[in-house]
Structure 1
Amino acid sequence: MLFLLLCITVAGSAIRRDVDIMEANKGVEGLVEGDIRMTDEQLQNLNGNRVKRQIIRYGTWTGGVVNYYFEDAFSQAKRDLMKYALEHISNRTCVKFVESSTERNRIKFVSKGGGCSSFVGMVGGEQELFLDDECQMMGIFVHEVMHSLGVHHTMSRDDRDEYVTVNFTLIPERYLHNMQIEYGTFNAVPYEYGSSMHYRGNSLGVGSLTAKQSRYQKTMGNMRVSFYDMVNINTLYSCSCAVNLDCKNGGYTNPSNCDKCVCPAGYAGRLCDEAPPGAHLYTATPNWTEDFIEFGYNDGSYTNTYLMAYAWISAPADKQIEVKIQQLVNVSCFDSCDDNGVEVKVDEDPRIVNPIYCCNTDTSMMQTVVLSKLNPTPIVMHQRRGKSGVTISYRYVDKPPVTTTTTTTTTTTKPPTQPTTTTTTKTTPPSAPTTKSPTTGQPETTCQCTEECHFTSTETETCQCITSTEETFENEECEKEAGTIHIGTECQANNTATCFD
């Protein structure tokens, strides 16, 4: 069994078991949303009315080039971890990081005095990004760097309340401002509980944030860097390749190396059509089959990166796979499954993080049958301390028959009325150039309106797609059927893209 791991031990200070941004930032003054620094102008707008909050501008880095340097006190081991985090981003996006202390616009990595905190986007001149010893986790490093690139918290999205309940009565008064919604931001990806940009359910107080899909409660705040985190950056910086590959399973052509795809967790190969190296491979039958998978390493010390392991369950094309997680061994039942956990990818979207199992006592998940919409079905395991195990059961079942719906239309004749003339004027925006989507590899048409549309992440308009039958779908509600589109960000060229206020 081949494990995928890069362990970086930070010398001179112990790696914490429980790494949490809000805990690390206790006592740090002047932060917004727990870890965001703001310029004086941004703070004035934030403290103003809703209209002012909507016009806060967060700059991106020109040409996707980010200059940075380390203060002298930044230890070599922490520099190594940060460079690993920067490489993780640059190897999957078109953003490049250049070490320079002389460029006009630059980030200064500061070792102490500011918790885990950053400005959002490029503010101009030198801007500080703080990473105290309590922040020593690769996912936290990426979290803060993503802020500096211009990415917001997941819980700040304007659709947040559709996915989580904020229990304001359980949040200390000094933290209430941390749950403000950033109105007018562009949601480039689906709402993802497992994004590294999402806080834990208990970050602002026990029970302060509740997932409306309860199976995701301990997925919130997990510090694995997600696939959609990278899609977010690529969308923000308009990363693309001249020619897109036929990436499978939700992968996208890598703008850092256009000859291969970037794959969601649980997939590998140049086109994302293979199991990860060393994955446990299973073939389902009609009968339940059980197996025990051990993952991790013998050393019981904590690391600041995750050791990843995988399994693949396959079935005939006309079948669906069912999976049960029977038992977890040496898996810590911590908030956000931070130490270790098991993710069974059953959602129709292979890119998104699914619920993570890490508690044997969670009766809503353990020994509960889940029906997968993916075949093969990947299982993703992560570990940052010692060796763990999981007992899985799996089988296949018949796919449900495809049903068709017949609609009967009844026409009622009304008596004639006073004749009227109705003129319908439809303004069609000028045709936009067709390009290739960096996330799907499919043709896309950018919306064009009298004002710049929402793709800049600063405007407040919403792009919608219209099918050939003139039925309107919000982007996130489009369906995977002929004649419609299914995508979270772009309007594809086989439909008509238009904009609405």
Structure 2
Amino acid sequence: MSKCALSLLILLVASDCSWAEEKDLPVSELLWKANRDVVRREDEPLVIDDIAYDNENERNSDPCVTNGCMWPSSADGNVYVPYTIASHYSSRERSIIERGLQSFKDVSCIRFVERTGQRDFLSIQSDSGCYSYVGRRGYAQTLSLDRQGCLYHSTVQRELLHALGFHHEQCRSDRDQYIQILWENIQPGLEYAFDKIDTLNMDTPYDYSSVMQYERFAFSANNKATMVPIPNTNVELGMSSQMSSNDILRLNRLYKCTSFRP
């Protein structure tokens, strides 16, 4: 084998090993790494953490699912969500996205389908970092999965859950019964990531292992915890790498997936 070919092989192996190490990180850490140094273009939406907004006034609004942002059910009981995937993804990158899309079919009545002219759809593309709007916005809505840092099963699932109408777990209306926010440890200017929202919790318990839950040091200014579980502070927090059983339960309850059979 030539020195050139050997060097290329070593580079490819090292790249695959690095990817394998990254994908084992909890989703909140993957998103933090992907979004921390992003500089957004002027034509991109307002993005706070990994949620996109049309304007600043939307940040603390009531859940949009009470105002018509759910994707509609069809006569057969399924919920069809059209999408497009930008051509700039490689076949391997596209397969990661498609696996995330398919995972919803396996556990719910949600069916992500390739767009065939529908007005409202998800436009999945490699924009600046990882982000999604919450719920259906109307017409084309960007769901960004940056090729540099966002293409993991957990991040795909989390951004899709945002697009279906779900917020972060630590923003739940009842979160103060289950976690304590340590405001003094949060990076100045990032307190918004812990805003409490009047969420619809679908009679499901607070879930420390939700794919929508941050890990305990998220947005820390001093390497100290920004939130701790209560009353048992030793419970693992935000270590999920895929949707939890409670994520799936509340998804099925919100979209009334009564006819769903695994």
TM-score of the pair, normalised by structure 1? 0.42
1:101 CA displacement: 5.9
Q: State the structure with more CA Rg.
A: 1
Is the partner of 1:96 in helix, strand or coil? strand
Task: Name the residue aligned to 1:115.
Answer: 129
Q: Larger relative contact order (C-alpha < 8 A, sep ≥ 6)?
A: 2
Q: Please identify runs of 4+ aligned residues in structure 1 that moved more than 4 A.
A: none
Is the partner of 1:127 in helix, strand or coil? strand
Indicate conservation of the 8 Å contact 2:70/2:135, yes or no: yes
The number of equivalent residue pairs is 223
Query: Where do 1:182-221 residues align within 5 Å?
Result: 182-183=197-198, 185-188=199-202, 189-205=204-220, 206=223, 207-212=225-230, 213-216=232-235, 218-221=236-239
Q: Give a deviation string over 1:139-164, Cα, whole Å, max 9, x none.
A: 11101101001111111101111111
Q: Matches of 2:116 and 2:189 in 1, distance apart?
A: 36
Q: Give a deviation string over 1:247-272, Cα, whole Å, max 9, x none.
A: xxxxxxxx0xx3xxx5xxxxxxxxxx
The yes-or-no answer on 1:229 pairing with 2:220 is: no
Q: Give a deviation string over 1:391-440, Cα, whole Å, max 9, x none.
A: xxxxxxxxxxxxxxxxxxxxxxxxxxxxxxxxxxxxxxxxxxxxxxxxxx
Task: Name the residue aligned to 1:156.
Answer: 171
Query: Where do 1:413-428 residues align within 5 Å?
Result: none
1:203 CA displacement: 1.6
CA-based RMSD of the aligned residues comes to 2.1
Is the partner of 1:31 in helix, strand or coil? strand
Q: Give a deviation string over 1:190-224, Cα, whole Å, max 9, x none.
A: 100001110111121131111122231x3423223
1:54 CA displacement: 3.0
Distance 1:103 1:68, change over 3 A: same
Q: Matches of 2:125 and 2:116 in 1, distance apart?
A: 13
Indicate conservation of the 8 Å contact 1:105/1:124, yes or no: yes
Query: Where do 1:375-414 residues align within 5 Å?
Result: none
The yes-or-no answer on 1:44 pairing with 2:57 is: yes
Larger helix proportion of the pair: 2
Q: Give a deviation string over 1:425-476, Cα, whole Å, max 9, x none.
A: xxxxxxxxxxxxxxxxxxxxxxxxxxxxxxxxxxxxxxxxxxxxxxxxxxxx
Indicate conservation of the 8 Å contact 1:199/1:220, yes or no: yes
Structure 2 stretches of 5 or more lacking a match? 1-14, 41-45, 74-78
Indicate conservation of the 8 Å contact 2:190/2:219, yes or no: yes
Q: Matches of 2:116 and 2:194 in 1, distance apart?
A: 35
Task: Name the residue aligned to 2:149.
Answer: 134
Q: Which residue among 27, 30, 33 is the counterpart of 2:37? A: 27
Percent identity among equivalent residues? 25
Task: Name the residue aligned to 1:91.
Answer: 106
Q: Matches of 1:89 and 1:200 in 2, distance apart?
A: 24
Is the partner of 2:36 in helix, strand or coil? coil
Q: Matches of 1:142 and 1:71 in 2, distance apart?
A: 18
Task: Name the residue aligned to 1:54.
Answer: 62
Q: Matches of 1:239 and 1:157 in 2, distance apart?
A: 22
Indicate conservation of the 8 Å contact 1:155/1:199, yes or no: yes
Indicate conservation of the 8 Å contact 1:201/1:221, yes or no: no
Larger strand proportion of the pair: 1
Structure 1 stretches of 5 or more lacking a match? 1-11, 48-52, 242-254, 263-501
1:186 CA displacement: 1.2
The yes-or-no answer on 1:174 pairing with 2:216 is: no
Indicate conservation of the 8 Å contact 1:58/1:150, yes or no: no
Indicate conservation of the 8 Å contact 1:121/1:149, yes or no: yes
Q: Matches of 1:20 and 1:226 in 2, distance apart?
A: 17
Q: Matches of 2:68 and 2:229 in 1, distance apart?
A: 28
TM-score of the pair, normalised by structure 2? 0.78
Q: Matches of 1:27 and 1:174 in 2, distance apart?
A: 15
Is the partner of 2:214 in helix, strand or coil? coil
1:58 CA displacement: 6.0
Task: Name the residue aligned to 1:146.
Answer: 161
1:55 CA displacement: 6.8
Query: Where do 1:465-484 residues align within 5 Å?
Result: none
Q: Give a deviation string over 1:75-117, Cα, whole Å, max 9, x none.
A: 2112111111111111111111111163210111112x32111
Q: Matches of 2:239 and 2:50 in 1, distance apart?
A: 14
Is the partner of 1:93 in helix, strand or coil? coil
User: What code does the residue aligned with 1:177 have?
Assistant: Y
Indicate conservation of the 8 Å contact 1:119/1:147, yes or no: yes
Indicate conservation of the 8 Å contact 2:69/2:135, yes or no: yes
